[in-house]
Structure 1
Amino acid sequence: MRQIMFAAMIGLGVSIALTPVLIRVFTVRKFGQEIRVDGPASHFAKRGTPTMGGIAILIGMWAGYLGSHLIGIRYDAEGLTVSGLLVLGLATALGGVGFLDDFIKLRNRRSLGLTASGKYVGQLAAAVIFGILAMRFPNSTGLTPGSRQLSFVRDNAIMSMWAVFFLLLVCFLVVAWSNAVNITDGLDGLTAGSMGMALGAYVLITFWQFTHSCAALPSKGCYSVRDPLDLAVVCAAGAGACLGFLWWNAAPAKIIMGDTGALALGGLLAGLSITTRTELLMAVVGALYFAEIMSVVLQVAVFRTTHNRLFRMAPFHHHFELSGWAETTVVIRFWLLAGLSAATGLMLFYGEHLSARS
């Protein structure tokens, strides 16, 4: 438990201290955000706001994770694990793809960076490497970081799949979650705040999996997850880093996380869903991001079939802005939705545990 607290505090401290440094550096170098021409008119005032703040989130996550382990050596805590490193590695790889996208936007002074195909290549390459490695490194009980069974809360033998289908699932989850979080990152503080809630929920989920691990305490309702305690440390470090960044990203934002942060955080969610055997539960905990990307899918589908728009603008947080809501009103209400989603996911997780024990 102490490792989890240390990870959160270090991630928070590093992120909140590093972000203003990035603000000053990027302001001097004129690394400012470009705004979509077809976006809400109120957003044009944000043109030039420093971007690529996701660098602070990534550094905060790694600092929280590694720092908590260095402190943990003093009381013989669990060391670095394959699961934790794989999830952070996936987030970092996708953050690298986002960094290229942001850098191209800044260099060319436009709102478009990497081409869609270029971004997909980077996402899929990271997903394939993660998927292959996730099925390796069995521990003493034979558990690997990933499982070939599509799960809601625990492995389900009925939904077991071949290795190739597992890799396809990993690719889908990585691309879907990273793009969903990226699409959501359109308002000051929206993604950083909502991500803090989702990762906070997963701190509780992974710690519960650790305290009810089949390896430590075989019983009804136990969990077969390779490194649940270390995954809780990863979640805590990520939540702390997001909240530290939120201090500077809340409206009016002094810096934007950019694709560097959004793609990394989406990759973090995808990696956690796979390594905790909760691929389907993640859709509940992260329902805000699911709804945001579905609003884009529905907008495109409806327009192509009827030539009418379902929303004034997609993703649908812009729909509410164009309907007259203030940006801060949209953000706060979406935070409430994110909190309700995280709470609902926790209730479903605990409810399944009770039913499994009965």
Structure 2
Amino acid sequence: MIYHLLEWLGFPGPLNVVRYLTFRAGASTVTALFLALLIGRPLIDWLRSKQGKGQPIREDGPQGHLLTKKGTPTMGGLLILICLTVSSVLWMEWNRPFIWAVLFVTLGFGTIGFLDDYAKVTRRSSAGLSGRMRLLLEFAIAGAAVAIISLNTGTTLYFPFLKDQGVDLGPFYIAFGAFVIVGAANAVNLTDGLDGLAIMPVIIAAATFGVIAYLVGNAVFADYLGIHFVRGAGELIVFVGAIIGAGLGFLWFNAPPAAVFMGDTGSLAIGGAIGTLAVVTNHEIVLVIVGGLFVLEAVSVIVQVASFKLTGKRVFRMAPIHHHFEQLGWPESTVVIRFWIIAIVLALAGLATLKLR
């Protein structure tokens, strides 16, 4: 909105700086962060007044959580969604379809998460919407978004370490892209189990894909690095800036001891956003590296369930894997910070694939 207003005015004087992507990305970050800090406390107080006893805690989870996290309100993802949406709309160019596709997935998955959280709070149970219903809605939203995105990016799956080489999946690309988005959303959802655990790796992954989006959206850089050029993808760094600012603002209140949990409202939304960024930039495989922490969390659950059903034995003391380390005696803060370190290392590894071609 601000861009187009100043464009209409001819970008007068020093306001010409708004034309630059990097400035608007920074402004988007600051705007989202400031807004989060401004409305965070009132929103948390409102959520607490509406939820009473807060988010129901898993009875089969770590027993300490029944005491330390009892009464903490959920649906804090609303704070993230409000701030990143307002900031993105303020600073982005509205004629860029990728921005709207990412926002569509983010808000769509956020709505699914909100319905899930609402069901948990009203029923006073850790079980929300049925898994089948959730997946059906998620694939419908993701599939529609990928269909729109593929009209501009094509249907080719590109491989890291190879110069602009890939395989055209044709119509199957829509199903593949939807699987990437849904998988990313649910992997982040599984990671969201400790104070501050999920939001910082999401910020790190978003920042990484912000760099990738900027590079693939620049013809000169894309040609130099041997990656597929996606016209208009650079505008996504405005959205990424909003995620970073909103995420940092949320972390201010989610830092231990958390005043609020993001809930499925937040985890599904920002996980879906990360997956969509990977699809738009044609770096779906690199997402496995950059989001390796989320992949590890999801795989730990799959392995645990499969092992128990097949052999009656558990591989981990508790899944997802962050609870396994809690059961080994690691303090919650130790698990969180070490997982942050892993997320940083994996992000750097993902960025390295851009040059190793």
1:225 aligns with 2:230: yes
Match of 2:177 in 1: 170
Match of 2:297 in 1: 292
Amino acid at match of 2:76: G
1:113 aligns with 2:110: no
Calculate the TM-score normalised by the size of structure 2: 0.89
Residues 155 and 277, structure 1, Cα contact 8 Å, conserved in 2: no
Closer/same/farther in 2, CA of residues 17 and 220 from structure 1, 3 Å limit: closer
Alpha-carbon distance, 1:295 to partner: 0.6
Is the partner of 1:295 in helix, strand or coil?
helix
Residues 150 and 156, structure 1, Cα contact 8 Å, conserved in 2: no
Match of 1:93 in 2: 108
| Residue 49 of structure 1, aligned match among 45, 68, 72 | 72
Match of 1:74 in 2: none
Is the partner of 2:230 in helix, strand or coil?
coil
Q: Can you list the C-alpha shifts for 1:215-260, whole angstroms capped at 9, x where unaligned?
A: x986672641132221111111111111110000011000000000
| Residue 155 of structure 2, aligned match among 132, 142, 148 | 148
Distance 1:53 1:283 in 2: 27
Q: What pairs up with 1:194-233 in 2 under 5 angstroms?
A: 194-211=201-218, 213=219, 221=226, 223-233=228-238
Is the partner of 1:308 in helix, strand or coil?
coil
| Residue 305 of structure 1, aligned match among 294, 302, 310 | 310
Distance 2:47 2:212 in 1: 37
Alpha-carbon distance, 1:150 to partner: 1.3
Q: What pairs up with 1:307-346 in 2 under 5 angstroms?
A: 307-346=312-351
Alpha-carbon distance, 1:175 to partner: 1.9
Q: Mark the runs of 5 or more structure 1 residues left unpaired by the alignment.
A: 70-77, 137-143, 353-358
Amino acid at match of 1:35: I
Distance 2:285 2:81 in 1: 26
The share of aligned pairs that are identical, in percent, is 36
Residues 51 and 73, structure 2, Cα contact 8 Å, conserved in 1: yes
Q: Can you list the C-alpha shifts for 1:54-84, whole angstroms capped at 9, x where unaligned?
A: 0111111112212223xxxxxxxx5541001
Is the partner of 1:96 in helix, strand or coil?
helix
Alpha-carbon distance, 1:6 to partner: 0.7
Closer/same/farther in 2, CA of residues 22 and 220 from structure 1, 3 Å limit: closer
Match of 2:117 in 1: 102
Match of 1:242 in 2: 247
Q: How many residues align?
A: 333
Is the partner of 1:150 in helix, strand or coil?
strand
Closer/same/farther in 2, CA of residues 20 and 152 from structure 1, 3 Å limit: farther
1:192 aligns with 2:199: yes
Q: Mark the runs of 5 or more structure 2 residues left unpaired by the alignment.
A: 1-21
Moved more, 186-195 or 78-87: 78-87
Amino acid at match of 2:26: M
Match of 1:37 in 2: 59
Match of 1:132 in 2: 147
Alpha-carbon distance, 1:158 to partner: 4.4
1:61 aligns with 2:69: no
Residues 207 and 244, structure 2, Cα contact 8 Å, conserved in 1: yes
| Residue 10 of structure 1, aligned match among 24, 31, 44 | 31
Moved more, 20-29 or 175-184: 20-29
Residues 147 and 274, structure 1, Cα contact 8 Å, conserved in 2: no
Distance 2:62 2:43 in 1: 27
CA RMSD of aligned residues (A): 1.9
| Residue 182 of structure 1, aligned match among 182, 189, 192 | 189
